[in-house]
Structure 1
Amino acid sequence: MRLILRIIAALLVLLILVLLVNTFRLKSHQLTDVSPASPIEVPDSAIQHLAGAIRIPTVSYTDYALTDTTQFDKFLTYIRTTFPLVHQRLKHETFNQYGLLYEWKGSNPALKPILLMGHYDVVPVIQGTQRMWKRPPFDGLIEGGYLYGRGTLDDKMSVIGLLESAEYLLRTNFQPERTVFLAFGQDEETSGQRGAQTIAAALKQRNVTLEYVLDEGGIIKTDGVSGLKKSVALIGITEKGYLSLELTAIGKGGHSSMPPVQTSIGMVAEAVSKLERNPFPARLDGGVDRLLDYLASEVSFGQRIALTNRWLFGPLIKQQMAQTKSTNASIRTTTAPTIFRAGAKDNVLPIDATATVNFRLLPGDTVEGVIERVKDVIENDSIQVTVLGKGNNPSVVSDPESPSFLKIHQTIRSIFPEVIVAPYVMLGATDSKYYSALTSAIYRFSPVPLNDAETQGIHGTNERIRVKDYQNMIRFYVALIKNN
Structure 2
Amino acid sequence: MASKSLILSLVVGLLCLATVYIPSNISSKLYMAFSYYSTTLLTQEIAELKCPIATKISPKDFDGVSNEILDKILHDPLFRNQSAMKLSKAVQIVTEVTDNTKFITNMDDPSFAPFTEFHNYLEKTFPHIHKTLTKELVNTHGLVFTWQGTDPSLKPVVLTAHQDVVPVEEHTVKDWKYPPYSGHFDGEKIWGRGASDCKDLLIGQMESVELLIETGFVPSRTIILAFGFDEEVEGTHGAAHIGKFLTERYGDNSIYAIFDEGSRGILEQDGTYLIPICTAEKGYLDSKITLQTPGGHASNPPGKHTAIGIMSQFVGLVDETPFEPSLTSINPLMELLQCYAEYSTSISPMRKFAIGKAAEDATFNKAIVDSLMGDVFMKYTISTSQAATIFNGGIKANALPESVAININSRIAVDSSVAETRAKFVDNLITSADLFDLGLIVDEEIIRPFTPNGYFNYSVPLRSLEPAPITSTKGSVWEVYTGSLRFLYEDLAYPEVVAEHQPQGFIPVPAVMTANTDSKHYWNLTDNIIRYFPEVIMKNGMSLNGIHGANEFAWIEGHLNLVAFYYLYMKNLDDYTN
Same topology, TM > 0.5: yes
8 Å contact 2:137–2:144 — kept in the other structure?
yes
2: CA distance, partners of 1:464 / 1:258: 56
Are residues 35 and 94 of structure 1, via their aligned partners in 2, closer, same or farther at CA, if it must alter by over 3 Å?
closer
- 1:429 aligns to 2:452 (yes or no): no
- Post-superposition CA distance 1:117-156 (Å, at most 9, x none): 1101000012311111111111100115111011111111
In 2: Cα distance, 1:124 partner to 1:231 partner: 35
How far apart are the structure 2 equivalents of 1:204 and 1:455? Answer: 34
Secondary structure of 1:40 counterpart = helix
Choose from 251, 254, 257 the match for 1:212: 257
1:239 aligns with 281
Aligned runs of 1:129-144 on 2, under 5 Å? 129-144=172-187
Match of 2:299 among 251, 257, 262: 257
Structure 2 contact 161–201 (Cα < 8 Å) conserved: yes
| 1:324 has 2:324 as partner | no
**Aligned-residue offset at 1:109:** 2.3
The 5 A counterparts of 1:56-455 are 56-64=93-101, 65=104, 68-208=111-251, 209-221=254-266, 224=268, 230-260=272-302, 261-285=304-328, 286-299=331-344, 300-301=347-348, 302-310=350-358, 311=361, 312-379=363-430, 380=433, 381=440, 382-417=455-490, 418=498, 419-449=506-536, 454-455=543-544
Q: Report what 1:29 is aligned to.
A: 52
Per the TM alignment, residue 231 of structure 1 is displaced from its structure 2 partner at its CA by 4.3
Q: Which residue of 1 aligns with 2:571?
A: 482
Contact (CA 8 Å) 1:253, 1:349: kept in 2 or not?
Answer: yes
CA deviations over 1:366-417 (Å, ceiling 9, x no partner): 2222112211123223321124422111111110122111221111111112
Q: Which structure 2 residue ranges, 5 or more long, are not aligned? A: 1-31, 74-78, 434-439, 441-454, 491-497, 499-505, 574-578
d(CA) in 1 for partners of 2:337, 2:393: 44
For residue 305 of structure 1, what is the amino acid of its counterpart?
F
- Alpha-carbon distance between aligned partners in 2 of 1:254 and 1:46, rounded to the nearest angstrom: 66
Please tell me whether the aligned partners of residues 62 and 190 of structure 1 are also in contact (alpha carbons under 8 angstroms).
Answer: yes
Q: CA deviation at 1:80?
A: 0.4
Moved more, 323-332 or 77-86: 323-332
Q: Is the 8 A contact 1:274 1:378 kept in 2?
A: no
**What does residue 54 of structure 1 align with?**
91
Distance 1:15 1:257, change over 3 A: farther
Decide which moves more: 52-61 or 379-388: 379-388
SS of 1:320's equivalent? helix
Unaligned runs of 5+ in 1: 1-8
Give the TM-score of the pair, scaled to structure 1: 0.92
- Quickly say closer, same or farther: Cα 1:428–1:175, change in 2 above 3 A: same
Q: Describe the shift of the 1:188–1:452 C-alpha distance in structure 2 as closer, same or farther (beyond 3 A).
A: farther
Tell me the number of residue pairs that the alignment of Structure 1 and Structure 2 aligns: 472
How far apart in 2 are the matches of 1:392 and 1:191? 11
Deviation at 1:335, TM superposition (A): 0.7
Q: Percent identity?
A: 31
Counterpart contact for 1:237–1:423, Cα < 8 Å: yes
Question: Distance between the aligned counterparts of 1:207 and 1:146, measured in 2?
Answer: 39
Could you tell me which residue of structure 1 aligns to residue 493 of structure 2? none
Normalising by structure 2, we get a TM-score of 0.77
- Structure 1's 328 and 13: CA in aligned 2 closer, same or farther, altered over 3 A? closer
Q: 1:190 to 1:452 in 2, by over 3 A?
A: farther
Cα displacement (A) at 1:100: 0.8
1:5 matched to which residue of 2?
none
Match of 2:21 in 1: none
CA drift at 1:32: 5.5
Counterparts of 2:560 and 2:233, CA distance in 1: 29
The answer as to whether partners of 1:96 and 1:194 remain within 8 angstroms in 2 is yes
**1:46, CA displacement in angstroms?**
1.3
Q: Is the 8 A contact 1:101 1:181 kept in 2?
A: yes
CA contact (8 A) 2:391 2:405 kept: yes
Q: Which residue of 1 aligns with 2:549?
A: 460
Q: Secondary structure at 2:233's aligned position in 1?
A: coil
Distance between the aligned counterparts of 1:237 and 1:83, measured in 2?
31
Per-residue CA distance 1:335-386 (angstroms, 9 max, x = gap): 1111111224444322221121001111232222211221112322332112
- Alpha-carbon distance in structure 2 between the residues aligned to 1:196 and 1:150: 21
AA of the residue aligned to 1:448: E
